[in-house]
Amino acid sequence: KKKLLEIKDLAIHYITVDGVVKAVQDMYLEINEGETLGLVGETGAGKTTTALGIMQLVPDPPGKIISGEVIFEGSNLIGKTQGELRRIRGNEISMIFQDPMTSLNPVMTVGEQIAEVIRLHQNLSTQEALNKANEMLLKVGIPAERAKEYPHQFSGGMRQRVVIAIALACNPKLLIADEPTTALDVTIQAQVLELMKKLKTELNTSMIMITHDLGIVAEVCDKVAIMYAGNVIEYTDKVQLFTSPKHPYTVGLFNSIPDIESDMDRLKPIKGLMPDPTNLPSGCPFHPRCDKAMPICSQRVPKNTEVAPGHFVKCLLYEEGVEK
């Protein structure tokens, strides 16, 4: 499979009055064409910052990309001009947010909104764009006659379908979905996920699914990156992660699901709280909460270690030369 996106050594900081927040550190990720990567973690782990870093939308200030490369189709997005980035966003990479209302214009009909995006990125007449908008609506399961309605006339699930239609209207190569179903109720959630899966396969789009929900990962992802305090602490393919999780935090996530079948959507957090992002613990940032912690864990920062082909873990238990 062809590599679509490669993140190398990415670090993103926010300069705040309370100090520097290292929102993303030492990040390496890869996505091939047609693949879905799950980006999993608690609130504040750095998932959304990663997405903004890929889109080159980190608000600067207070944010800053400190190091690294975001290589999309062979070229680094960091350092591209605003004009180049505008062409890439929407055309090649689109994003879906948790709350569909933030991305919809309340005073435009949904048909016009989809058509506008199409017109902006493709050389089509108004009528052609409107026709294509109707096609997109049908694709996401909305009858074309509803194109003349406004966002407030749609239910939450239907609105998210409209947002998906907009995001996919230009047939992007990569879709970044930031908790796209969190705001929806469970049955609607399942339908929207099913739709995303179907369209993704149909259009051969790669996807980054940002979620805190291991049930969604099980459902839609090929690979998974687990984030903790700005670090990807475990990264491998889904089957490997579900059958052989290695990092104590990941193991904790699985153990905290009381019943794999019925309660996958609730990540019961492991003992303790996420650390203060401006004052991360020394050494391994997970050490105050880790039930496997060793004396060295508060002193040494774990390196990314390949424990099996394509399976990476940041934990001193798996590093060579560390006394256990």
Q: Is 286 an interacting residue with respect to ligand SF4 (CB under 6 A)? A: yes
Q: In Å, how far are 67, 168, 275, 300, 321 from 20, measured between CA atoms?
A: 15, 36, 14, 20, 31
> What is the spatial distance between Cα 199 and Cα 206, in angstroms, rounded to a whole number?
11
- Report H helices in 56-169: 82-91, 100-103, 110-121, 126-139, 156-168
Q: Is 315 an interacting residue with respect to ligand SF4 (CB under 6 A)? A: yes
Q: For ligand SF4, give the closer residue by CB, 72 or 286.
A: 286
Let me know: does 63 contact 47? Beta carbons within 8 Å.
no
Residues within window 256-285 making contact with ligand SF4, judged by CB under 6 A: 284
Q: For ligand SF4, give the closer residue by CB, 167 or 297.
A: 297
Q: For ligand SF4, give the closer residue by CB, 201 or 255.
A: 255
Counting beta carbons within 10 angstroms of the beta carbon of residue 107, is it exposed (0 to 12), middle (13 to 18) or buried (19 or more)? Answer: exposed
The helix or strand, by DSSP H or E, that contains position 219, with its residue range, turns out to be helix 214-220
Q: For ligand SF4, give the closer residue by CB, 18 or 306.
A: 306
Q: Is 95 an interacting residue with respect to ligand SF4 (CB under 6 A)? A: no
Q: Is 303 an interacting residue with respect to ligand SF4 (CB under 6 A)? A: no
Residue selected from 302, 307, 311, 312 as contacting ligand SF4 according to rule CB under 6 A = 302
Site size with ligand SF4, rule: CB under 6 A: 14
Q: For ligand SF4, give the closer residue by CB, 105 or 299.
A: 299
Q: For ligand SF4, give the closer residue by CB, 157 or 248.
A: 248
Query: In the bound complex, what is the minimum distance in angstroms from residue 248's beta carbon to ligand SF4?
Result: 5
Among the listed ranges 107-115, 134-142, 211-219, 288-296, the one in contact with ligand SF4 (CB under 6 A) is 288-296
Query: In the bound complex, what is the minimum distance in angstroms from residue 30's beta carbon to ligand SF4?
Result: 23
> What is the spatial distance between Cα 301 and Cα 299, in angstroms, rounded to a whole number?
7
Asked if the bond preceding 269 is cis, omega within 30° of 0, the reply is: no
Q: Is 317 an interacting residue with respect to ligand SF4 (CB under 6 A)? A: yes
Let me know: does 4 contact 73? Beta carbons within 8 Å.
yes
> What is the spatial distance between Cα 193 and Cα 129, in angstroms, rounded to a whole number?
26
> What is the spatial distance between Cα 166 and Cα 82, in angstroms, rounded to a whole number?
21
**Residues in the site for ligand SF4, rule: CB under 6 A?**
247-248, 284, 286-287, 290, 292-294, 297, 302, 315-317
